[in-house]
Amino acid sequence: MIQLNVVNETNRLKAVVLGTAQNNGPTPTPAACYDPSSLMHVKAGTYPLELQMLEEINALEDVFKRYNVTVFRPHIIPNCNQIFVRDVAFVIDDKIIKSNILPDRENEFSAMSYILDQIDSTKIIELPETCHIEGGDVILFNDYLFVGVYTGSDYSDFITARTNQKAIDALKSLFPHKILKTFELKKSNTEPEENALHLDCCFQPIGKGKALIHKAGFLNPLDCQFLENLFGKENLFQASKTEMASMNCNVFSISEDIVVSEKNFTRLNQWLRLQGFIVEEVAYSEISKQGGLFRCSTMPLIRT
């Protein structure tokens, strides 16, 4: 049996679900794009090819195996983009929560059935249909549960709005011992630099008391102030709009001092090394064209 245990983003990773780019399906039409980055690359004719994405995601698996991490992969669904497993489900403490994601992506959860079969069924939580949430909006920081949300009256106009108030209320009742803090995120269906698709696109703790942030991704300046007070301004890497859109905040921690980052993130990687992190650089720029990076394509099951 798999004993789920995830209380933060930085404890030593022992087991993870990693997405797959195999049998990824054709390049989507503009109308079928779920995020502004994909839309931009479809229109420009630069949408990534399956072979390129396979190479990138397999290179990430190689890094995990070097650190003796158990890696699970979902079953292959023909002609289906299964890269971003964090959208599909996420672990808080010893429970796995099934996301209520875009209806077209429902099959992606069943592709993990062999993994779910190894988990105590009482620890698998399915939220009511009216609760919309994706794992990229949920960040664990020990006693804190940080959740990105959009509660504007125009919620239904944004395909980029993925987490609603009803999901927040459900998490509060499931995890009453957590300090739940919500963050209203900026949304755009068409402009990558104006859209924080998930909380982990504009904020992430990375270990050693440090975090990455893009302040303009938050609608409420007081939320940025809260994070500056919590971490200390000097411990925050401030990502620019361009860096946020190319997913600089969406790195992935293997432990308190080991971070997987994209090899082209020159400024960030230099900063990380100056802070004493071991930086595992992986080419992931093709996958990033779909508006997600390392955190989006991984779902930790066990951190110790």
Q: Per the structure block, which two tokens stand in for 204?
A: 């992430």
Size of the chain, expressed as the number of residues it contains: 304
Query: pTM to 2 decimals?
Result: 0.95
Query: Which CATH number does 13-303 carry?
Result: 3.75.10.10
Give domain limits for the chain: 13-303
The DSSP result for 225-292, as a single string, is: HHHHHHH-GGGEEE--HHHHHTTTT--EEEETTEEEEETT-HHHHHHHHHTT-EEEEE--HHHHTTT-
H or E, element range at 224: helix 221-231
- Chunked in runs of 10, what are the mean pLDDT values of the chain (304 residues)? 98 98 90 85 92 96 98 95 94 94 77 96 94 94 96 74 90 97 89 86 97 96 97 98 95 98 98 98 95 95 98
Contacts of 302 (CB under 8 A, 6+ apart): 2, 3, 4, 5, 6, 13, 14, 15, 70
pLDDT of residue 102: 65
pLDDT of residue 104: 66
